[in-house]
Structure formats: C-alpha cells, structure tokens
Amino acid sequence: MPTLRLLLAMATLAVAATTAAPAAAPAEEAAALTLVQPTRQPLPDTSNITGELIERLGVSKFFSLWLVFNDPTETDIKTGVDYVILAPKEPAPLQKEADPQDRPAIVKKLLLDHVILGQKLNLAGREDKKPFTLSTLGGRDVEFSFKQDQWFANEALIVGSPAEIPAHGELVVLNKYAFADYDPSAVPKEGSEAASSPAPAVLSSSSSSQPAAEPTTAAPEEAFLGDLADELSKITEVFNLTRVPIFNKFLPDAKVSELLKPGEQYTVLFPMDRAFQKWHPIDWGFYPFSVPEFTSEIVRSHFVHGTLRLDQITDGFQTKTLTNRTLTFKKLPSGDVIVNGVPVMRREVALQKGTVLVIPDVLFVNHQVVQELRAKNMDKETPPLIAFPWWNAQFLSHAFLSLDKNGTFPSIERLLNMVPNLHLRVPGKDYTFLVPTEDAFQKAGLSIPSWWSSEKHQSDVLSPKKMETIEDFLLRHLIHRRFYMRELVPELQMQALDSTTYIVEHKGEKSLLSENVFSEL
C-alpha cells in the first residue's frame, strides 16, 4: 500500500539521519522530543440556548455563524463558567467576494469579539451606572455605558433586557455590531479603535461598485431549485469555509428539483464532510458514493417536507423523507436529538426555504448496505497496485492471482503463464475475462500439459506459431469492457480483443454466447 511504503521510507530516513548526525546533548534531545499541543479555543457552553429563544430575540442569523466552531478537536467548552454573548440583530452576511481562505478567521474573529467569558453583566440589578469595560474572547474591550436611560455596548444600543440563559449565561441583544469596523455603513471616528485597526472584510452581501444584474426569469421549479442551491451554498461560508462541502457537490446530480414544490418549506439533514470521508478507503477499496444512482438516492433521502425545529421535536416523532424513507427521532433528557441513531448538532440553521440540521453521519448507510452495494458494483472498487506477474497489466495480474487462489482453473493458468508478452496486449484495467472451466477444456478435447507453462521447455517444444495461436486463444476470451451478468441481455454484442464478436442469447436462466470461443490449439 502507498501508506505502508511511505511509513517505511520515513523509517529508513529516520535511521539514516540518526546514523549520520552527531550525538545531541541531553538538553537538546529533550527539546527535540517536546511535542507542542495545538491550542484549543475556549468557548462558553451554549447548549441551553434554544432555537425558540434566538428566533424570538431576532438573532438567528448571528447564531447560525456559530457552526464555524463545529470541530470539537479545536474547541474547549467551558461548562459551568459564566458568559455573555453580545448578539446583534440582523447582522450583515459575509461578503461573498472575500477570499474563501480568509472566511473562517473572519467569522471566528467576529464571534469571539462578541463573547465575554468568566462573568455576567447583571445590568438590571446594577445600582452603579458608571461606565465599565470588559474584554472579549477576541481580545477587544467593550465599554458598557448608561446614557439617556439606556445601556450601550460601545456605540451599540442594548435592546431590551438581557435574556438569562439557564445555569451560567446571558444573551444581550444589540441593534448593531459592538465594533464599528464590522458595520459597512459606519464611518469610524478619528482616533477610535476601529479607525486605527485594520478593518476586516466588509460584511455586505454585494459590492456597490458592481453593476446590478439583469433580472432573469425561470420556470417555477428551476427558480426554486436555484434558491435552494443558493441557500445551501451559503452553508459553505458558515461551517466549511475553505471548500465546498461534499454534500453540496452531490446535489446537482441528485436532481432534488424533481421532488420539490415551489413555495413550500423543507428541512435538510446535512451530513458533515467527515460523514462521507469515513467511508472512503485509505489506499484502495470500495467507496459507496462512487456509485451515482446510490449517491443520488441517499442525497434525496436527506430532504424532508416541512420545517423541523429541534425544540419542537418530541421523543418518538416519525416522519418520511422525500424518498419515502422513515426518520425516527429520539429526544434525550439532556435535550439532545438523535435521528435514526445519528446525533443532531444542537444548533439548526434557518434558511428562507426551510431549516438545515447538521449531522455527523450519512443516514441510511451502514456496513451491510455498503457490502451489498459493493457486490453489485465491483467495478467501482479500486484494487491495490501489484507488481506481479505484470506491473503494467493490473487487471490481468489480479485475474491471474484470483484464478491461482481459487485452484480450479489450472489449464487457463498454464496458458496465461506461457505467453510472455500478453501483458502488452492487455494493459491497464476494465476488462471482462471469459474463463473456460476444466470441463470446457475436456469437452473441447483440449489438454494443457503442466510442463507447457515451464519457461525451461517453452522455447524448446513450442514453436513461434504455436505461441501465437495460444496468444490469440487468450485474446479471444478477453473483452475490453467490464460486464456484469445483469447486463447480458439478449442480442447484446461484445467484441473480444482478437476482434471476434459474440452475441448474447438466453436459454432458460442461462446466458449463452452464439460463437464458440474455442479453437484448436
């Protein structure tokens, strides 16, 4: 396997380096062996913030950005620690023109600049109305001041009373971002922090320097699919900002538009990239999502008619997907939701046309399903690269080793061993081998002595003409295309590598070839 070879190469390199390099001092050795652990971002425990609350307060768009912290290996959730989240109402979305490589850092910086960890404000019970300053997780200071009977966070007005989050949190709603450099319409004051610091990417949905696009018309179904595809493409900016999610790449071929009705709401159970990657072979093997029909069916099965909200789902609730598959939900005492055995992330994403529920696994796919799919689509399986018997003829090599392992096809094995340059006539992959059984050889009156395959006797006993006849015989049994039994329909024509044409006939449950593939050796 490539991985094994790489590890061996690394081990060899390490040994060579150890041999060549002078002995290091003990202190240097200790320093060289020190492992630097990656820093995990501290975050508050937001599990008690419900979808109903953020929708009621009008901060759903702000909280949909929180999915940028979807990798648990990169975060450190501080359970039991007080916190304050400053959530602006209707924040401007990320600018689409921003460099995709920069979007994760921009979103994370924006969120961390609006989170205070380690204490709460308690503004309602605060008798002292003097200004005070707190630092956010992003390292920026927020000044809280009381002016004209209202509290402000920097220049942003605090709307209403802060919402108490059960246990340790406060959710404070602002009328705009706490920092002016996140507001594209604001002009920073001279000498302010926003004026002196480099501004992040403008958080506007379009650029005023670009001419307005001409209005276009489309059929209702096409327009609706465009809206849905556009909305799901926004997920790229939210939780996988450096590349298009795998699920999105499968959407065009799945033709979900055929199942959608214009103007109606839908819920998408959105598998994360790791959900697909866990089914990908490391070096070689079978990847179920390389089968187009299966992949399209599975993708469609992640769409549900209607809007599902986590806080409204009850234990035991069942519904059907657009492909009529059953989804069964389980509600745990902790509030967590599980669908068909797969946990659902606690934060849903509200879209104009419905809701996105993020899941870590692909639904309706398990090892039994994959094995049954593999048996029907073995051409999609990538085999290991082997150097024996013929490194440049992978199909022929795998076929020979399979026949040898089976042990019941000695005659055809001997013939394969006899033609030294057969691999040049059958290079690469994607062939069908019509393998004669031992009974077939006997019925044809053909006997292949074991000594024929001995290199020692081939040149002495077998004439060049005989070797050419044997090569033609083998080519007559090889077709440059992979065929399954289910594809052998009546009147199907197949052409062998020696240009012989076979026509498929059916007799009862058997498939027959109209041409006798045997000739005298």
Q: Report, as an integer, the average pLDDT of 358-362.
A: 91
Better pLDDT: 149 or 458: 149
Query: Is residue 114 over pLDDT 90?
Result: yes
Query: Is residue 283 over pLDDT 70?
Result: no
Q: Report, as an integer, the average pLDDT of 446-461.
A: 59
pLDDT band at 237 (very low <50, low <70, confident <90, very high): low
Helices of type H across 382-481: 394-406, 410-418, 422-425, 438-443, 455-461, 464-475
Question: What pLDDT does residue 351 have?
Answer: 74
Query: Is residue 183 over pLDDT 50?
Result: yes
Question: What pLDDT does residue 202 have?
Answer: 36
Sign of the C-alpha dihedral, residues 283, 285, 286, 292? Answer: positive
In the block, residue with structure tokens 């999105």: 248
d(CA 415, CA 399): 13
Most confident of 31-35, 65-69, 230-234, 497-501: 497-501
What residues are paired with 350 via a beta bridge? 355
* Arithmetic mean of pLDDT over the chain: 75
- With residues binned 3-state (H G I as helix, E B as strand, rest as coil), the percentages for the chain, rounded to 5, are 35, 20, 45
pLDDT band at 346 (very low <50, low <70, confident <90, very high): low
Better pLDDT: 373 or 58: 373
CA-based Rg of the chain, rounded to a whole angstrom? 33
Question: What pLDDT does residue 132 have?
Answer: 92
CB atoms within 10 A of CB 435: 16
Helices of type H across 269-318: 273-277, 292-300
Better pLDDT: 181 or 218: 181
Q: Report, as an integer, the average pLDDT of 292-308.
A: 93
Amino acid at 146: F
Percent above pLDDT 90 for the chain: 22
Phi-psi region of 324 (alpha: psi -120 to 50; beta: other; left: phi over 0): left
Question: What pLDDT does residue 345 have?
Answer: 82
Query: Is residue 181 over pLDDT 50?
Result: yes
In the block, residue with structure tokens 């990656």: 38
Stated pTM of the model: 0.45
Query: Is residue 9 over pLDDT 50?
Result: no
Question: What pLDDT does residue 320 have?
Answer: 95
pLDDT band at 252 (very low <50, low <70, confident <90, very high): confident
| 34-48, 171-185, 221-235: segment of lowest average pLDDT | 221-235
Most confident of 65-79, 295-309, 352-366: 295-309
pLDDT band at 217 (very low <50, low <70, confident <90, very high): very low
Question: What pLDDT does residue 19 have?
Answer: 33
pLDDT band at 337 (very low <50, low <70, confident <90, very high): very high
Omega before residue 389 within 30° of 0, cis: yes
d(CA 143, CA 127): 17
d(CA 268, CA 353): 10
Better pLDDT: 317 or 246: 317
Q: Report, as an integer, the average pLDDT of 89-93.
A: 67
d(CA 103, CA 80): 30
Question: What pLDDT does residue 213 have?
Answer: 34
CB atoms within 10 A of CB 94: 23
Q: Are 44 and 169 in contact (CB under 8 A)?
A: yes
> Angle CA(59)–CA(61)–CA(64) in degrees, nearest 5?
110
d(CA 332, CA 47): 13
pLDDT digits (tens, 9 = 90+) for 131-177: 999 999 999 999 999 988 899 999 999 988 888 887 788 999 998 89
Q: Report, as an integer, the average pLDDT of 395-415.
A: 86
The three-state secondary structure class of 237 is helix
d(CA 146, CA 163): 18
H or E segment to which residue 147 belongs: strand 141-147
| 70-84, 152-166, 306-320, 453-467: segment of lowest average pLDDT | 453-467
d(CA 486, CA 479): 16
Question: What pLDDT does residue 265 have?
Answer: 86
CB atoms within 10 A of CB 267: 23
How is residue 323 written in tokens?
């492909």
Question: What pLDDT does residue 222 have?
Answer: 34
Q: Are 151 and 144 in contact (CB under 8 A)?
A: yes
Q: Report, as an integer, the average pLDDT of 454-464.
A: 58
Query: Is residue 13 over pLDDT 60?
Result: no
Amino acid at 126: R
| 227-236, 341-350, 403-412, 478-487: segment of lowest average pLDDT | 227-236
Question: What pLDDT does residue 197 have?
Answer: 45
Question: What pLDDT does residue 83 have?
Answer: 94
Q: Are 146 and 129 in contact (CB under 8 A)?
A: yes
Better pLDDT: 367 or 3: 367
d(CA 76, CA 45): 9
Question: What pLDDT does residue 304 have?
Answer: 93
